Each structure stands twice: as structure tokens, then as C-alpha cells.
């Protein structure tokens, strides 16, 4: 049996009648979690119209790349992948090739011009029409759909998702900030919030289908609700999602520290399911650089938020994104990022070399004057700092019990199980495979920078 074609039965959910499966779509997402979710949502629409997902690009009738524009290399990767399909399309003219996501939005008609074998370019707010766009591409030839006005009405078959026990749910799209390095407001448009009840009802349907961990998504998620009539907040969504039976862990991405208010941290503190982990990108440790980035907060303000988060949610793990080599970054400014890492002691950081993006304020007004070699050295230096911090932080957990959502066999050693603790640590332990999707406690015995190793606490599963 073709595993890709089986759709698990939903529990207590009514779905529209499904057309017979006639064709296969291969979707590959690049970049952020929102792209992974949007790829799933596009497949969900297609699946109502006779399409099934395949993991094998060679067997696909439609190849869809869900693209990222955040750095130059993100786009280069897609250009070369598209180029590589030229020959296959010549061999198999019936094959459809589609590009969606941020690069589709940004490059738009350029993609169709540079890659004439591409059939369909679908912007960041049009993927819910994927079935119609594909039909048009078949009958009319190349299709360009990149308008960004308006709301994305999420129509979702909750059964179509890659992980049984975890799911992403979008709460808003777009961003009204203009951080000077960032292309996202141009590719994803201005902020549009999803109605509160839609979000909660999607979570209910997901939980009825076995989901236990929800990750709420938005480009600037802490300003959620500012455009809705009764001004709900992200804190309110967290409280409501926590009330949904079966949901035991709640994450959210991504938060601009400028907009983090105590109300959100208080909601996290009152909701143990959400209190273990907070990813809120600092981007830099020096207030002058933060000013050039138009981030809207200083180093001191950032540290204050970290302190409040730790006071209200004891044991919380903090994670961050950091950019090295922003225009004009001096050695002293770079050192401030290192010292921020030492001060905060993040659980995890994602470090990026600055990449000028066309049309952004930094690309237009500032000179990209830090050489690639210096950017690389600075990135490597920070990675080494974090490695040391991660080991020390993880070792503090040796001898304690952590609360783990079990994923299944460990990717590195299938004889063991792996899962994620409340602070988002990877945890490796022995146990039976049928624990997948359950919560358990693990007594930590050993820790590296990347993972915690321990023993299942008997009788702790639920």
C-alpha cells in the first residue's frame, strides 16, 4: 500500500466528500514554519480536488516549491532547483511546476520569464486557491497570482499534516514593522489577524484528531488582535487553547521584543503548557545596532523582558535569533552580542550572517561593509560561545525530571526513543514505541549541548 495515499480517519470531525485520488503533488518548503504550514494548507485544498501528496518528486504530476526570501542564499537555492527541472519538463511536458511563498511574491513575473518551464507562481496570500490556479495553468498556460490584499481564509483538512501529535496554527499574517534588514513585510504584506474563534476551533479539530502540541504562528505574533473588533490578545489565545481538551503544550513564533507586554508573560505564567519556552529574537546585543536595525528596543529593554520572563515563568528557556555583520558592525558592537549571550544564557540561538535584501532600508541606505570572511568568523565565534552555554545549561538539568512529549524512535539511534521537554530540549531514552504521542517524565542522567539523556520514570505516562 502506498503510505502517502492513506489519510488517517479523523475523530469526530466531518470533512467534505473527497474526490477520487487521480494525481500526486510533491511539496517542498524552504525557510520558516509558516512556509511549512502554508505548504500543508495548499495540499489540503488540492486534496479536496483529487490530489494526494507524494514524498517522491519523480512520481509527481505537480512539483511545488514553497520558497523563502530571507537571505540571498535562500533564493539562490530555489533558482538552482528550478533550473534543474528544465530537463525533466522537456521530457515530460505534462508535469506542472509551481512556486509559492516569499520568493514567488517578490520575484513574481521574473520567475516565469527566467524559468519559462514554470507553470504557476502563487504569492503568500493566494495559496488557498491552489486547486483553481492549477486548473488555470493547465488550460490557460502560465499563471501569476501574487496579489497580497486581504485576508487568507484558512480552509483546512486537519488530517493532512506531517506529524500526528504536533501542529502549526496561523493566528496572523504579515507584519507592520519595518526592521531595516527584513524583507518579510514586502513579501507577506501588512498585518492581518485571524478571528479568535477560527483559531480556537481549528485547534479543537486538531486536538480531536490527536494533536497534543500546538505552535501558533505569526510573523510578529505578539501584536495579534490589534486589528480585530474586540481586540483579543495572544495571551487570550494561549489561555483559550489551554482549555481545549488534549492540548498540553503551546508554543508560539515569532515575537518582536518591542511588542512583548507583561500581559503575555502573565498568560504564559498562568498556563504551564506555555511557560517552558520563549523564542524572541534579540537580533543584536548593542543598542546602536538595534537602532540601525529599527528594532524599537534597546539592549537594556531586551534584558528587562528576559528578567520578567524568568521571574514570572521560573525555569523558562529562552531562545534567540542573532545577526552578525550588520552594516557598520564594529568589533566592539559585535562583542556586545557575545556579552548578551553570556548574560542571558539562551538555551539556543540561530545565528545569521547579514544579507542585504533589495528594497529594504538597510540595503538602500547602508553599505554592506563587513566582509564575508569577518561575518563567517563572527558567526563561528558565536556558535562556539553557544555550544559552551548549551552544555552548561543542559547539565544543570542532570538529576531532575523533565516532562517529555514523545516523538518516536530517535533519528540517530532507532533503538532508543526521542521527544521534547518543556524547555524544547531534545530528550533521548529507552522505551516502547507505542509511547509516541504520550507525555512522560524522564530522569535526566547525562547532557550534551544538543540533547538530554535519561531514564523513563515508570508510571509517568499520560
Binding mask of the shown chain, residues 354 to 373, with x at each position contacting ligand SAH by CB under 6 A = xx-x----------------
Residues between 124 and 183 with contacts to ligand SAH, criterion CB under 6 A: 181-182
Calpha distance 292→287 (Å, rounded): 9
∠ CA 419-422-423, nearest 5°, is 100
DSSP 8-state assignment for residue 228: S
Cell 506542472 maps to which residue?
96
Residues between 273 and 292 with contacts to ligand SAH, criterion CB under 6 A: 281, 283
Instruction: Output 34 or 318, the one with its CB closest to ligand F3S.
Output: 34
Look at residue 417 and give its three-state secondary structure: strand
Least distance from ligand F3S to the Cβ atom of residue 179, Å: 3
Instruction: Output 82 or 290, the one with its CB closest to ligand F3S.
Output: 290
Q: Comparing C-alpha atoms, which of 119, 105, 42, 34 is closest to residue 69?
A: 105
Least distance from ligand SAH to the Cβ atom of residue 351, Å: 8
Q: Does 220 bind ligand F3S (CB under 6 A)?
A: yes
Binding mask of the shown chain, residues 176 to 215, with x at each position contacting ligand SAH by CB under 6 A = -----xx-x-------------------------------
Sheet holding 317-324, edge to edge: 277-279, 317-324, 348-353
Q: Does 177 bind ligand F3S (CB under 6 A)?
A: yes
Q: Are 446 and 455 in contact (CB under 8 A)?
A: no
Q: Does 185 bind ligand F3S (CB under 6 A)?
A: yes
Calpha distance 29→68 (Å, rounded): 8
Q: Does 447 bind ligand F3S (CB under 6 A)?
A: no
Calpha distance 107→120 (Å, rounded): 13
Count of residues in contact with ligand F3S, rule CB under 6 A: 10
Q: Comparing C-alpha atoms, which of 364, 360, 440 is closest to residue 408?
A: 440
Calpha distance 111→119 (Å, rounded): 10
User: Residue 235's Cα: distance from chain center in Å?
Assistant: 19
Judged by beta carbon distances under 5 to 8 A according to partner kind, the member of ligand SAH, ligand F3S, none in contact with residue 185 is: ligand F3S
Least distance from ligand SAH to the Cβ atom of residue 393, Å: 21
Calpha distance 31→399 (Å, rounded): 36
Calpha distance 63→277 (Å, rounded): 35
Judged by beta carbon distances under 5 to 8 A according to partner kind, the member of ligand SAH, ligand F3S, none in contact with residue 335 is: none
Least distance from ligand SAH to the Cβ atom of residue 77, Å: 15
Calpha distance 357→34 (Å, rounded): 20
Instruction: Output 175 or 397, the one with its CB closest to ligand F3S.
Output: 175
Q: Does 184 bind ligand F3S (CB under 6 A)?
A: yes
Binding site for ligand F3S (CB under 6 A): 175, 177-179, 182, 184-185, 219-220, 256
User: Which positions touch ligand SAH (CB under 6 A)?
Assistant: 70-71, 181-182, 184, 219-220, 254, 256, 281, 283, 321, 323, 352, 354-355, 357
Amino acid at each position: 500500500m502506498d503510505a502517502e495515499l492513506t489519510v488517517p480517519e479523523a475523530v469526530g470531525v466531518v470533512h467534505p466528500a473527497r474526490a477520487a485520488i487521480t494525481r500526486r503533488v510533491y511539496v517542498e518548503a524552504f525557510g520558516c514554519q509558516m512556509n511549512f504550514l502554508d505548504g500543508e494548507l495548499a495540499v489540503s485544498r488540492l486534496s479536496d480536488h483529487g490530489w494526494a501528496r507524494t514524498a517522491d518528486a519523480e512520481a509527481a504530476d505537480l512539483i511545488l516549491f514553497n520558497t523563502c526570501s530571507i537571505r540571498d542564499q535562500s533564493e539562490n537555492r530555489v533558482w538552482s532547483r528550478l533550473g534543474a527541472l528544465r530537463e525533466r519538463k522537456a521530457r515530460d511536458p505534462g508535469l506542472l511546476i509551481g512556486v509559492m511563498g516569499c520568493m514567488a511574491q517578490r520575484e513574481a513575473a521574473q520567475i516565469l520569464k527566467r524559468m519559462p518551464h514554470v507553470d504557476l507562481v502563487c504569492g503568500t496570500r493566494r495559496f488557498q486557491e491552489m486547486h483553481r490556479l492549477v486548473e488555470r495553468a493547465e488550460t490557460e498556460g502560465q499563471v501569476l497570482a501574487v496579489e497580497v490584499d486581504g485576508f487568507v481564509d484558512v480552509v483546512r483538512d486537519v488530517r493532512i499534516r506531517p506529524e500526528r501529535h504536533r501542529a502549526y496554527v496561523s493566528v496572523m499574517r504579515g507584519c507592520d514593522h519595518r526592521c531595516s534588514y527584513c524583507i518579510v513585510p514586502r513579501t507577506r504584506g501588512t498585518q492581518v489577524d485571524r478571528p479568535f474563534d477560527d483559531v480556537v476551533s481549528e485547534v479543537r479539530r486538531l486536538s480531536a484528531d490527536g494533536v497534543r502540541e500546538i505552535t501558533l504562528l505569526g510573523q510578529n505574533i505578539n501584536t495579534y488582535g490589534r486589528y480585530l473588533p474586540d481586540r483579543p490578545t495572544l495571551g487570550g489565545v494561549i489561555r483559550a487553547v489551554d482549555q481545549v481538551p488534549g492540548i498540553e503544550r503551546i508554543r508560539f513564533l515569532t515575537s518582536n521584543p518591542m511588542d512583548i507586554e507583561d500581559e503575555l508573560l502573565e498568560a504564559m505564567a498562568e498556563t504551564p503548557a506555555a511557560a517552558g519556552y520563549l523564542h524572541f529574537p534579540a537580533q543584536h546585543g548593542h543598542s546602536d545596532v538595534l537602532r540601525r536595525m529599527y528594532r524599537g528596543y534597546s539592549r537594556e529593554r531586551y534584558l528587562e523582558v528576559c528578567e520578567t520572563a524568568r521571574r514570572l515563568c521560573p525555569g523558562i528557556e529562552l531562545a534567540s535569533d542573532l545577526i552578525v555583520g550588520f552594516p557598520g558592525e564594529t568589533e566592539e558592537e559585535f562583542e556586545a552580542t557575545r556579552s548578551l549571550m553570556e548574560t542571558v544564557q539562551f538555551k539556543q540561538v540561530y545565528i545569521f550572517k547579514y544579507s542585504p535584501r533589495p528594497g529594504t532600508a538597510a540595503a538602500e541606505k547602508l553599505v554592506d561593509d563587513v566582509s564575508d570572511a569577518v561575518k563567517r568568523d563572527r558567526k563561528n565565534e558565536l556558535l562556539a560561545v553557544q555550544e559552551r552555554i548549551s552544555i552548561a545549561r543542559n547539565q544543570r538539568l542532570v538529576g531532575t525530571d523533565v516532562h517529555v512529549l514523545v516523538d518516536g524512535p530517535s533519528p540517530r539511534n532507532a533503538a532508543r526513543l526521542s521527544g521534547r521537554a518543556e524547555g524544547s530540549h531534545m530528550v533521548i531514552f529507552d522505551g516502547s514505541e507505542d509511547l509516541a504521542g504520550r507525555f512522560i517524565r524522564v530522569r535526566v542522567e547525562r547532557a550534551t549541548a544538543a540533547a538530554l539523556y535519561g531514564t523513563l520514570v515508570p508510571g509517568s505516562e499520560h
